[in-house]
Structures are given as C-alpha cells and as structure tokens.
Amino acid sequence: MSKDILIEELREIMEEKNLSANATAPYLESSPKQVIRWLNYEHVPTRIFKKAIQRGIKKMRNLP
C-alpha cells in the first residue's frame, strides 16, 4: 500500500510534538485505537475523518 500524505503528516506532527495515540485522538475526534490503525495503514480514513484529521493537525501545530 502506498503512503498517504495526510497520514504521514499526522505521523510527523505526533513525533514533533511527542504525542501518543491517546493524546492525539481527541484532536482527531476519534479513538486511540483508530489512530493506531491509520498510522499502521490497517484502515484508510473516510472522507469525514480525513477532514477531522486535517482540523486536528492544525490544532496540534499550535501546541507548545
């Protein structure tokens, strides 16, 4: 499976901000388990979740 740019951006911001799936999930309006599935390419986010991920990434960028 090819890499998804959005998921890779999510992975980068999580690493940059040192955030776990548990800490990231509320920003994405999702569960930690689902975040892990996306990061491991076990599931592809739906269009609705892609928008939620985009919003979450914007919020996480503003974290210290």
Q: Where are the domains of the chain?
A: 5-61
C-alpha distance from residue 60 to each of 13, 26, 51 (Å): 7, 11, 14
Instruction: Taking each helix axis as running N to C, give the angle between helix 47-61 and helix 21-28, from 0 to 180 degrees, rounded to the nearest 10.
Output: 110
Tokens of 55: 């919003």
Topology of domain 5-61, per CATH? 434 Repressor (Amino-terminal Domain) (1.10.260)
Q: Collect all residues with Cβ–Cβ distance below 8 Å to 47 and sequence separation of at least 6.
A: none
pLDDT category of residue 1 using cuts at 50, 70 and 90: low
Report pTM: 0.92
pLDDT band at 2 (very low <50, low <70, confident <90, very high): confident
Query: What does the pLDDT look like over 8-44, one tens digit per residue?
Result: 999 999 999 999 999 999 999 999 999 999 999 999 9
Going by C-alpha positions, the residue among 54, 18, 59, 60 that lies closest to residue 38 is 54
